[in-house]
Amino acid sequence: MKKTSIIIILFILFRLGCFAQNNLKQHYNLMPWPNEITESNAKFLIDSAITISIIGKDQGRVRNASVNFLRRLTNRTGVFINEGFPIKTGKGSIKISFETIAKLSIDDDESYTLNINEQNIQLTAKTDVGILRGLETLLQLTTNNETNYYFPGVTITDAPRFVWRGLMIDAARHFQPVDVIKRNLRAMASVKMNVFHWHLTDDQGFRVESKTYPKLQELASDGLYYTQNQIKDVVNYASNLGIRVIPEFDVPGHASAILTAYPELGSKDGYNYAIERFSGVFDPTIDPTKDITYQFLENLFTEMTPLFPDDYFHIGGDENEGKHWNENKNIQAFKQKHNLKTNHDLQTYFNIKLEKILNKLGKKLMGWDEIMTPNMPTTALIHSWRGENEGLPKGGTLINAAKAGYKTVLSNGFYIDRMQSVDYHYSIEPIGDILLTAEERANILGGEATMWTELATPLTIDSRIWPRTAAIAERFWSKKGINNIENMKLRLKDVSYKLEELGITHLKNRDVILRNITNNQDITPLLDLLKICEPLKIYQRNKDGIEYKTFSPFTLFADACSSDAEDAYIFNTSVYEFLENQNEDPLNRLLKYLEKWSGNHKLFSEIKSNPKLKPIKPLSINLSKTSQLLMDILTRKKTDKNELNILKEALTTLNQPHVDVEIVIYEPLNKLVDYCEQHYVTP
Amino acid sequence: MKKTSIIIILFILFRLGCFAQNNLKQHYNLMPWPNEITESNAKFLIDSAITISIIGKDQGRVRNASVNFLRRLTNRTGVFINEGFPIKTGKGSIKISFETIAKLSIDDDESYTLNINEQNIQLTAKTDVGILRGLETLLQLTTNNETNYYFPGVTITDAPRFVWRGLMIDAARHFQPVDVIKRNLRAMASVKMNVFHWHLTDDQGFRVESKTYPKLQELASDGLYYTQNQIKDVVNYASNLGIRVIPEFDVPGHASAILTAYPELGSKDGYNYAIERFSGVFDPTIDPTKDITYQFLENLFTEMTPLFPDDYFHIGGDENEGKHWNENKNIQAFKQKHNLKTNHDLQTYFNIKLEKILNKLGKKLMGWDEIMTPNMPTTALIHSWRGENEGLPKGGTLINAAKAGYKTVLSNGFYIDRMQSVDYHYSIEPIGDILLTAEERANILGGEATMWTELATPLTIDSRIWPRTAAIAERFWSKKGINNIENMKLRLKDVSYKLEELGITHLKNRDVILRNITNNQDITPLLDLLKICEPLKIYQRNKDGIEYKTFSPFTLFADACSSDAEDAYIFNTSVYEFLENQNEDPLNRLLKYLEKWSGNHKLFSEIKSNPKLKPIKPLSINLSKTSQLLMDILTRKKTDKNELNILKEALTTLNQPHVDVEIVIYEPLNKLVDYCEQHYVTP
């Protein structure tokens, strides 16, 4: 399907959807949208007298969340709250009660009910984690008029659709320090996500301190790794937010870093293993035929598993192309001896040995969907990353796994590092209309957004994760029928800026990069460009992984840009509306943009140039040129072939990828040119 | 001296200074300014072939600094550098060599020489820390034209004037997490500061994990404290940057938190000790007459001193008003028995006991200047915080201490939380023309900027520290004669924005707060207001410490504002220039501002109001009104008594403190009104 058609369809869906989902109260910026919500006319005033009281044993998590709730509320509203901590009587104006402490497992109950009256608020839940989810809902309800902040009178009963609502962060390709992880954990909790999958090892680095095998961090991390104390700190921090932590130690492929430290585990004798600086799939692979391999992994896992209390332990297992196995005679002999026909069989052999090691350590094995082979025990959890877009039938490995009796989690469709639109990710329906038995359905635990970091540093990672992941969180939490894109976008705008409260840097670091690019000159013209540009998608930036090294600059224009360019969305919608109905209103809206863009290069050219700015210049020139021409034609409603040709040429130039971004108003501009050609040409 | 006269004098000084210090190369944005610099016409091109080689044993610190240098250089320039790490041959285009490893003590040699030619760069130093200082200079020299980045050909020989160039951060009043500390350490290193003084305990919290006395963090920190592992991590991080860490455990006053955990150490039986939520000087004081006090402190210090390898250990010792001592009969009896006439004598008794404990633990005692009493051994280091502005003779306790044979460090004049201008702090000359013997002079080790955090949270602390502290760093490093304010300001503008590279949030978090205040609407009108407003100075905000609690909102307009409001500076300069010479040029400049401000309230009123925004409205209205009136008069060069009275009234209203800020264009506006009255009144 061509891009234009998608946009037109989305636009129509939007207009239909506005009526179809009228039951969504558009004036509440809740995300994820709760199961049931009813409203009254009551208003609970947020003033200095607000207090919280907690009924429930072991109040660690809830007390912590309540204190943070009060801090966030006071900073959001400016209200000087008298009591900065939960009070000891049961008479708080916000009354919290719960029964048990969640174990942080796939069996947790996260439901809650929230009842807001004029005088008090009641938040109840089975578990402490349910309370955490409810407190986030309450905070999202903060509303104001000119003189007061208040919570609107609503009754909400809520529970998640899926029990596994995850975000994976790759800390291997670019190391992400503890503060990056913590702020993302806070953001996750704010949209009720509950699984943090920590991709800790890969070709580009081994990121955990090992006391058993210290060469791992000494030789294979460039000094960028988490100490065991930091790991414990993060796991504890996550637990306080009701978030489970699943570590991933990727084997037997993606192992350049491990083999840099311990080459004796490698499949190719004499190979010069080194930390990988580029991106992609590489050859270094652990040798699954050696005893020392299993000694090493058992010792390593024995050291690592106590750091991660969760039931599951992710061993990666993906993208092993087996090149070094093929080149190793001993491995070939081993395969023959053990009647392992393919490398896939050999890897299954390896995985099953790992499964036993992990079981002994009280853990269940989780791995990317390549581990799902006939002999793999169904106690393993299958992480589905391949679906229709990798050429598989509908439902992909997720449905296969569920039908084969494996518990499974979906990431296909949620690779947020591909820089696709929030519309795309939000529209992914994990199960859809595929018929499953109750048991099969129960095997589908949920999903994970995956943030691979070949191109994301601590400076930019937040803008790659947020706000899109909030919409994905809604996909995992809310009912299947909550799928109106336009309504989601309205709410997302508010959620996005409120993520700043939690320290998320997606908005502010954009300006930091632009100040860097301009050497601290006026960034307005770059901002206006940025609002219609998006980084190249689906791995078209850094194609084949050989342009950027891990230590290349990631402070370029593409790094400041992000998905869902904000002006482009409004402009494009206006264009399609105009093309549909030829009304003045959308025409004026789009003309306003054309006017702004036509003048933008003048401002751009006032910035003293430099080598970082220079490559952006053609984009700026062509945008102004195209906009000016088009604006002139649309205004005077008259043109000729010659002028149109100049316009088309300018437009073609504009559509060339520049500085790793694409200009996402190209298709609508093209449609407008077609329109002019059809309606305004005079011979 | 009145404020107006100061501004006029500063302005004249600026104009004189431009000629007087022509030898300062204004085109290099170096800060602190080096001892000697000569230039050639050479340019060392920054391209992908740039490499670093290091000659010197134990390259830990230098290697780390070199890698960071390459990352910062690549991100600043956008150049894809081939070699992301120092190369192993000695043939790098940047050749680094040093002799020894600095011990991180007051005897360290931090000198270096830097020589930049067309083909290579030579950086040599006695110690590894000298290399770190030189690498920062080199980075600051990064220059560009339209097509290239390069280092200009210069030869620099450099060494600090003072060996103690510190920043104190108060982590007690508002806890400052590890990432706040680390980014500030990076910023400190970038301007060659070398002492981080960590104020860890106070009435509002005890911020270090103690295993010996766990109630300290359990009962007296609200859960906000550094684990011992985090302390080690920070100390190690600082050491890698060539920064010493001095911990402060403030006793016997400022002890509410300690006594909340261990009330048996208190001076008042039955007193209900609690973590303090307000600011100020409070009564809870440790009892210096009990044996358990010294057992406690010896045990605590025995546990703490190994965490902090520095020679010095700060015991506070300030602001004990002795109220609880006076109210305790046992203490009074103890004083009589030991012939201690005053509470000050009693505190000396206490300090001397502490000094012995610390000596036994291999530490030297450091304390605020109250500890300087006749019996105090001269091995103690006196931290001077009181000077002329506290009614002392010129030179204050600093000179007294130096003359009395104590080593001493100056903070008087460098209390950056007082929100005074950078001009003020930069103009503080520690020694001035006071005559000292060589030995006395040698006792003056340097100074420390002090960042108390009653009103500063992790969100705002950077904007309270930076960029002013960079100018203070120059005061401590550069020669006494480097004191031209205007030149400093030019360089500071560049330094300020480059602090963002290191993660300093002073620029970006301003916008975060304004987005919060506007509920994510257009922040431009607030930004324009902010650029002429400064938070109330010298503790006029939160007067007597009773308006703000530690958990009050710190996301208000005053929190977005900072010292040295940028538009105010340019406007005020233009006004004084116009008043001096009546030229069109400054008149046009100032009229441009008046025009902007007169239109600003219209934009402001387009923001949908809310309770946080509302109190700012009068400021916005009055600014627009005053500006419009004044602009009209200045343009038509004619007015009458009536109009002038309206203007004066508007101006008076404008000068009322609103929302904890002062509008810092008031005096020049007033002068302009006087001018209009003298020149433009027609009867």
pLDDT tens across B565-608, in order? 999 999 999 999 999 999 999 999 999 999 999 999 999 999 99
pLDDT value for A9 = 53
d(CA A466, CA A484): 19
Active site amino acids of A: 319
Chain B segment 158-217 residues within 8 A of A by beta carbon are: 177-179
Q: What is the average pLDDT across B169-180?
A: 98
The reply to whether ipTM tops 0.90 is yes
How far A342 CA lies from chain B's nearest CA (Å)? 39
pLDDT for B523 beyond 70: yes
CA A656 remoteness from chain centre? 28
When CB atoms are compared, the residue of A78, A515, A516 closest to B556 is A78
**Distance in angstroms (rounded) separating the CA atoms of residues B381 and B362:** 15
Q: Chain A: nearest CA to B408, how far in angstroms?
A: 36
Q: Please name the member of A70, A77, A511 whose beta carbon is closest to the beta carbon of B511.
A: A511
d(CA B373, CA B401): 10
Task: Look at residue B14 in the predicted model and tell me its pLDDT.
Answer: 47
Is residue B541 within 8 Å of B563, Cβ to Cβ? no
Nearest CA distance, A271 vs chain B (angstrom): 21
Cis peptide before A467 (omega within 30 of 0): yes
Q: How would you label B350-383 residue by residue, b for 16+ Cβ within 10 Å and e otherwise?
A: bbbebbebbeeeebbbbbbbbbbeeebeeebbbb
Percent of chain B with pLDDT over 70: 96
Peptide bond into A177 cis (omega under 30): no
- The model's pTM: 0.95
Among A623-637, B182-196, B384-398, the range scoring the smallest mean pLDDT is B384-398
Residue A112 has which token pair? 């809650």
Distance CA B246, CA B195 (A): 7
For residues A515 and A506, what is the distance between their CA atoms, to the nearest angstrom? 15
Query: Is the CB of A556 less than 8 angstroms away from the CB of B77?
Result: no
Burial A92-105 (b: 16+ CB within 10 A, else e): bbbbbebebbbebe
Given a cut of 60, whether residue B21 has pLDDT beyond it is no
How does residue A26 score in pLDDT terms, banded at 50, 70 and 90?
A: low
Cα–Cα distance measured from residue B346 to residue B340, given in angstroms and rounded to the nearest whole number: 6
Q: How far is the C-alpha of A465 from the C-alpha of A450, rounded, in Å?
A: 9
* Inter-CA distances, A109 with A132, A138, B568, Å: 12, 19, 57
Cβ–Cβ < 8 Å for A429, A466: no
Contacts of A348 (CB under 8 A, 6+ apart): A340, A371, A373, A374, A375, A376
Give A500's contacts in chain B (Cβ within 8 Å).
512, 515-516
Q: Do A80 and B179 touch (CB under 8 A)?
A: no
What pLDDT, in 10s, does the model give residues A308-353? 999 999 999 888 888 999 999 999 999 999 999 999 999 999 999 9
Per-residue confidence (pLDDT) for residue B122, from 0 to 100: 98
Contact criterion met (CB below 8 Å) for B194 and B110:
yes
Residues of B in contact with A146 (CB under 8 A): 609-611, 614
What is the mean pLDDT of the segment spanning B145-169? 97
Residue-wise pLDDT for A521-534, tens only, equals 999 999 999 999 99
Nearest CA in chain A to B609: A146
Q: Closest partner residue to A144 among B144, B505, B611, by Cβ?
A: B611
Report pLDDT for A16.
Answer: 45
* Chain A, chain B: beta-carbon pairs less than 8 Å apart: 144
Instruction: Name chain A contacts of B554, Cβ cutoff 8 Å.
Output: 75
Q: Which residues of B are catalytic?
A: 319
8 Å CB contact of A75 and B555 = yes
Residues 214-243 in B contacting A (C-alpha not used; CB under 8 Å): 222-223, 227, 229-230, 233
Q: Min CA distance, B416 vs chain A (Å)? A: 24
In chain A, which residue's Cα lies nearest the Cα of B555? A75
CB contact under 8 A, A611 and B64: no
Write out chain B residues lying below 8 Å of A461, CB-based. none
Q: Scan residues 544-583 of B and list those with Cβ closer than 8 Å to A.
A: 548-556
Residue of A77, A508, A609 with shortest CB distance to B611: A77
For residue A516, the chain B residues in CB contact (below 8 A) are: 75-76, 500-501
pLDDT at A60 over 70: yes
Report pLDDT digits (tens) over A387-446: 988 888 888 999 999 999 999 999 999 999 999 999 999 999 999 889 999 999 999 999
**Closest Cα of chain A to B284: distance in Å?**
22
- Quick check: bond before B32 cis, omega within 30? yes
For residue A375, is pLDDT > 50?
yes
Percent of chain A having pLDDT more than 90?
Answer: 91
Query: How much is the average pLDDT of A661-669?
Result: 96
Does the structure show a pLDDT above 80 at B613?
yes
* Contact in structure between A663 and A532 (CB atoms under 8 Å): yes
Is B81 close to A147, i.e. CB distance below 8 A? Answer: no
Residues A48, B521 contacting (CB under 8 angstroms): no
**Mean pLDDT across B188-196:** 98
d(CA A186, CA A557): 28
Q: Among partner residues B67, B77, B520, which is closest to A611 by beta-carbon distance?
A: B77
**Chain B neighbors of A551, CB-CB under 8 A:** 70-71, 74, 81, 84
How close, in Å, is residue B414 to chain A by CA atoms?
28
For residue A374, the model assigns a pLDDT of: 87
Which of A67, A78, A549 has the CB atom closest to B611's CB atom?
A: A78
Distance CA B458, CA B170 (A): 11
Find chain A residues with C-beta within 8 A of B551's C-beta.
70-71, 74, 81, 84
User: How far does the CA of residue A570 sit from the closest CA of chain B (Å)?
Assistant: 17
Taking an 8 Å cut-off on Cβ atoms, the answer to whether A177 and B179 are in contact is yes
Strands (E), A261-350: 312-316
What is residue B375's predicted lDDT score, i.e. its pLDDT?
87
Least Cα separation, residue B85 to chain A (angstroms): 9
Q: Determine whether the interchain pair A144/B229 forms a contact, defined as Cβ–Cβ distance below 8 Å.
A: no
For residue B69, give the chain A residue with the closest CA: A551
- Residue found under tokens 């291997």: A172
> Which residues of B fall within a CB distance of 8 Å from A148?
611
CB contact under 8 A, A549 and B146: no
The overall average pLDDT reported for chain B is 94
| A:487-516 residues touching chain B, CB 8 A cutoff | 493-494, 497, 500-501, 505, 507-509, 511-512, 515-516
Which own/partner contact pairs does B625-630 have at CB distance under 8 Å and 24+ positions apart? B625/B598, B625/B601, B625/B650, B626/B597, B626/B650, B626/B651, B626/B654, B626/B669, B627/B593, B627/B594, B627/B595, B627/B596, B627/B597, B627/B598, B627/B600, B628/B594, B628/B598, B630/B594, B630/B669, B630/B672, B630/B673, B630/B676
Q: Do B497 and A511 make contact, defined as CB atoms within 8 angstroms? A: no
Amino acid (1-letter code) at residue A573: T
Cβ atoms of A212 and A303 within 8 Å: the answer is yes
Flag whether residue A88 sits within 8 Å of chain B, measured between CB atoms: no
Measured between CB atoms, which of B71, B147, B551 is closest to A84?
B551
CB contact under 8 A, A614 and B556: no
Closest Cβ opposite residue A610 in set B146, B233, B610: B146
Mean pLDDT, chain A, integer? 94
- Distance between CA atoms of residues B355 and A424, nearest Å: 67
Q: What torsion do the CA atoms of B393, B394, B398, B403 make, to the nearest 10 degrees? A: -80
Instruction: Judge whether A85 is closer than 8 Å to chain B, CB to CB.
Output: yes
Structure tokens at B130: 């000298």
Segment (H or E) for A135: helix A128-140
Q: Which residue has the tokens 């000179």?
A: B399
A94–chain B nearest CA distance, Å = 18
Whether B353 contacts chain A with CB within 8 A: no
Selected residue of B83, B499, B516 to mutate for chain A interface (largest A Cβ count, 10 A): B516
Mean pLDDT of A625-637: 96
Indicate if the pLDDT at residue B11 is higher than 70. no
Tell me the residues of chain B between 245 and 284 that have a Cβ less than 8 Å away from chain A.
Answer: 277
